[in-house]
Structure 1
Amino acid sequence: MGLADVDIPVVDARTQDAITDEQAQYFLDNGFLVIRNVIVGEELKLVRDEMQQLYDKGAAGVDDDPDYLYGVGVKSGQQILRRIEYVIAKSDPMKALLGHPFILRSVEKLQGRNLIPTWDSMVLKAPDEGVIVPWHRDAAVPDGCTDPRPIFNVDFYLDEADLKTCLWVIPGSNKWTKEASDERCRQPGFTTEDAIPVPMQPGDVIFHNIEVLHGSPAGDGNPLRRTVYYEFRPGEIEAEFGPHTLEYLALKQQMLLDCIDRRKSAAYAQGETPYVYKPKGAFAISEPKQPESYRYAHEAYWRR
């Protein structure tokens, strides 16, 4: 199948409650799925404003906070903000966003009821200083894992991503062997003959499998592009293979429940049908508890 044969489905979060079976199959086959109009109206304004405050803080320079990460700007050669970790802990609208019912119902369709939110970050291309993101996989499925359910990121776009700033993906590369993936990543330069661009508008979302090859070229005259990543993993896979401890999974489940409740009280979410999180088996929750934190540092919960 050539790239011309990749028929990208149109998914609009305003007209359906979750992704359809056909859209889910497209994601499983190709490793990515574009969903339009997930964040709209007042919520989009709030989220953009909150994340702009974090960006402004980081762009001014933060020396004593490891959550703010920097790279070398392509124009200035100076340290340029490229990523901010744990955005849920830093913003109430980002907590409510984790409870987005369309997103959670769609994640459940792909991963099952025992879904776990595992990472939350904002990745950036600073104006006219976009740092190249070479072809890569975010991570690999753990060795020995035969569970076919995908591990993936939900990418919330807060700014327009045009051909200067958008993600490029290689459809179907989520099914490649490690050897094939490594060979493609070793090719010099950011070549795109086997890839497609994915332009986005503010409020749109991409689901992308951690094993699909993706990247973006260096910026040259690019505007600011902010994208928030929420990663989800099936609880059974995480429990068996890690990298986090079982304690971490339980803490993140309680955090998810709290964020779902927070969304119910948000003015912009009135009229939504809330997502009902009912994990089962070993992941069943007997009693919701108020989270002690919204920032559970990964390194404190790595398996030893």
Structure 2
Amino acid sequence: MGTIHVDIPFVDAAAQDCITDEQAQFFLDNGFLVVRNVIVGEELELVQAEMQALYEKGEAGGEGDPDYMYGTGVKSGQPVLRRVEYVIEKSDPMKVLLGHPFILRSVEKLQGSNFIATWDSMVLKAPNEGIIVPWHRDAAVPDGCTDPRPIFNVDFYLDEADLKTCLWVIPGSNKWSKEEAEKRCKEPGFTTEDAIPVPMQPGDVIFHNIEVLHGSPSGDGNPLRRTVYYEFRPGEIEAEFGPHTLEYLSLKQHLLLDCIERRKRAPYAQQGETPFSYKPKGAFAIAAPKQPSQYRYAHEEYWRR
């Protein structure tokens, strides 16, 4: 395999209120899209501080909390924090971030008006202990699903990601068969001949399809890299195939509406931004908003049996 080159479009959230048709097509074709300047100024500082507090809590010994997940450090051989689940429940600025209008308008453009916000997590590489993330897909489109709309993560970068810590992607691998993807993932080592690195700055975002192959090498002298992942799914796909129950979809709709309202009231939200209007249609229409009873709807409590 030879070295590849992909012209990544420049998307600036400070200069536009949604991704363009051309940028959407790049994402559909390649499985990823980089958006610059999504979180800036005071909001970026707040989100960084909130996630730093969660990181420090986990590093101080949160092994007994199932929301804090650990791997083995490449240098120390000791447990090292690698992931924190349900960050929206743990932080008010993360609730406000879910209501970001550029993100939600872009999600709606790609998935339609009935989209559902599902997972919310922070994934990180600890300083000097970066754990390798082998080539993988986050998940698979459900068997039997012919809906072409993508299921994807929105990855908010809170730290610079250079070549030591950044994500690598294989453009177009979101369209590969299961067999092609599994064959590539089984190749030994973290080879990158058919991949490209995606360096990022704090406040930048990557949209990445759950079926695009991606990963990152282990760190050696790497700085801390924190990334918050929000996943979105078209409601029609989720309703027909799961994995969550229909009750979960309704609960998460009201949670999203609450977060949009919180953003309207946040004094640090970017001046001049137009709030997103979440108006699901048909069977997904919302008669009246309800105050969420909680912000942590544990996935395992809403799996379909």
How does the TM-score come out when normalised to structure 2? 0.98
Residue 53 of structure 2 corresponds to 53
Instruction: Report 1:99-110 matches (<5 A).
Output: 99-110=99-110
Instruction: Report 1:117-266 matches (<5 A).
Output: 117-266=117-266
Q: Secondary structure at the match of 2:268?
A: helix
CA distance in 2 between partners of 1:134 and 1:32 (Å): 18
CA distance in 1 between partners of 2:189 and 2:134 (Å): 8
Q: Secondary structure at the match of 1:232?
A: strand
Q: Is the 8 A contact 2:13 2:37 kept in 1?
A: yes
CA distance in 2 between partners of 1:289 and 1:33 (Å): 33
Q: Secondary structure at the match of 2:95?
A: helix
- Relative distance call for 1:285 and 1:168 in structure 2 (3 A) is same
- Aligned pair 1:86/2:92, yes or no? no
CA distance in 2 between partners of 1:224 and 1:237 (Å): 36
Residue 282 of structure 1 corresponds to 283
Residue 300 of structure 1 corresponds to 301
**Deviation string, structure 1 residues 192-237 (Cα, Å, up to 9, x no partner):** 0000000000000000000000000000000000000000000000
2:34 aligned partner, one-letter code: V
Q: Any gaps of 5 or more consecutive residues in structure 2?
A: none
Q: Is the 8 A contact 2:73 2:131 kept in 1?
A: yes
CA distance in 1 between partners of 2:274 and 2:57 (Å): 35
- Relative distance call for 1:3 and 1:291 in structure 2 (3 A) is farther
1:99 aligned partner, one-letter code: G
**Deviation string, structure 1 residues 152-201 (Cα, Å, up to 9, x no partner):** 00000000000000000000000000000000000000000000000000
CA distance in 1 between partners of 2:55 and 2:111 (Å): 32
1:98 aligned partner, one-letter code: L
1:238 aligned partner, one-letter code: E
CA distance in 1 between partners of 2:257 and 2:160 (Å): 31
Q: Secondary structure at the match of 1:143?
A: coil
CA distance in 2 between partners of 1:90 and 1:84 (Å): 10
Residue 10 of structure 2 corresponds to 10
CA distance in 2 between partners of 1:19 and 1:276 (Å): 16
2:279 aligned partner, one-letter code: K
How does the TM-score come out when normalised to structure 1? 0.99
CA distance in 1 between partners of 2:86 and 2:69 (Å): 12
CA RMSD of aligned residues (A): 1.1
Deviation at 1:3, TM superposition (A): 6.0
Deviation at 1:102, TM superposition (A): 0.1
CA distance in 2 between partners of 1:65 and 1:177 (Å): 37
Q: Any gaps of 5 or more consecutive residues in structure 1?
A: none
- Relative distance call for 1:42 and 1:230 in structure 2 (3 A) is same
Q: Secondary structure at the match of 1:82?
A: strand
CA distance in 2 between partners of 1:170 and 1:272 (Å): 34
Deviation at 1:63, TM superposition (A): 3.1
2:82 aligned partner, one-letter code: R
Deviation at 1:65, TM superposition (A): 1.1
1:12 aligned partner, one-letter code: D
Deviation at 1:5, TM superposition (A): 4.8
Q: Is the 8 A contact 2:135 2:214 kept in 1?
A: yes
Residue 37 of structure 2 corresponds to 37
Deviation at 1:36, TM superposition (A): 0.2
Q: Secondary structure at the match of 1:190?
A: coil
**Deviation string, structure 1 residues 7-34 (Cα, Å, up to 9, x no partner):** 1100000000000000000000000000
Deviation at 1:272, TM superposition (A): 1.2
